[in-house]
Homo-oligomer: A and B are copies of this chain.
């Protein structure tokens, strides 16, 4: 876990390890990605220790240690911190920033008027929508950075500078992938947030958003809430673990009397129609288990994203598809479904890969957009 000068601890089970609580002024360079459902926060501390709260428990945010042997960012040495908030609870985010005094952690425009001194890099639609709120509550200006620019910059940073970052997932098996920096491009980046963006990446800053779909994480959560009365995305995702999609989905075998439709390569267990069984049964919503509803929904959406991603990869002859965004959350069944979809439709030609810091591509990209001299200031801090 100490390769390439970078160590990360997202999966570490060290939450009970007592470490000295860092003082507030160690933080610098806050960046934000304010999406339709979630606000993603990245900030830096020169103290590379893992954060713990007053009770000695690890803080809710995850973090990533960066050392100055990292070739891409030789001037960075410390720790990147990650946190997220629901966009609908933006006040929680403002309080978090305020409590950690992170709003002083933008770039400093020494010649600007007093009120405009602190400028925070921010991306996502909320950088526009909530600019006035940040000004009013924290007295900071949001410097808006293009969303696609940030996603690509964040993905490129992770793929080049962090190891292990990318992995495959199929049949319950996780396999880390060694990325050859000289053979990274081109690839398809699929970012699954509330909606989905598909970006063909040809190099640093060289990319094109080639497609997308409105059937994304917001659809899973939105439809899922309405169907199951779940209170959170994670609760809905957890429900799906115990679910069986065959209860509600119409399978090929349901139509063909238990047989395959082998002539066109569809097995009896393939889904012919998502939620199709609800058509012919005299059941109401209350008669279905929320677990089964959640599972069918997750499978429908994951499979659909996998298929549209593959079709776009095919258009441009891309063999590698990296999936990011907060929809995935390292959830085994989600990754498995996406991988199977890409494998099925491409007949094994294309490969789905996932990113360990999947949800923070945009926020990391915004962080990277600080001027180099701003980041170099970090050394001085």
Contacts and interface: CB of A to CB of B under 8 A. Distances in A.
B218 A279 contact: yes
A280 B252 CA distance: 36
A254 B273 CA distance: 31
Interface stretch (A153-161, A162-170, A309-317, A367-375): A309-317
A347 interface: no
A249 interface: yes
A227 B227 contact: yes
B128 A272 contact: no
Contact of A226 (B218, B278, B280): B278
Contacts of A256: 125, 128-129
A290 to B, nearest CB: 12
B214 A272 contact: yes
A222 interface: yes
Contacts of A314: 315
Interface string A103-129: 000000000000000000000111011
A221 interface: yes
Interface string A259-290: 10101100000011111111111001100100
A222 B35 contact: no
A209 B270 CA distance: 16
A257 B144 CA distance: 13
A259 B106 CA distance: 25
Interface in A19-61: 35-37
B275 A219 contact: yes
A274 B219 contact: yes
Closest 9 CB pairs of A and B: A218-B276, A129-B257, A125-B255, A218-B273, A222-B278, A222-B275, A125-B256, A88-B280, A194-B273
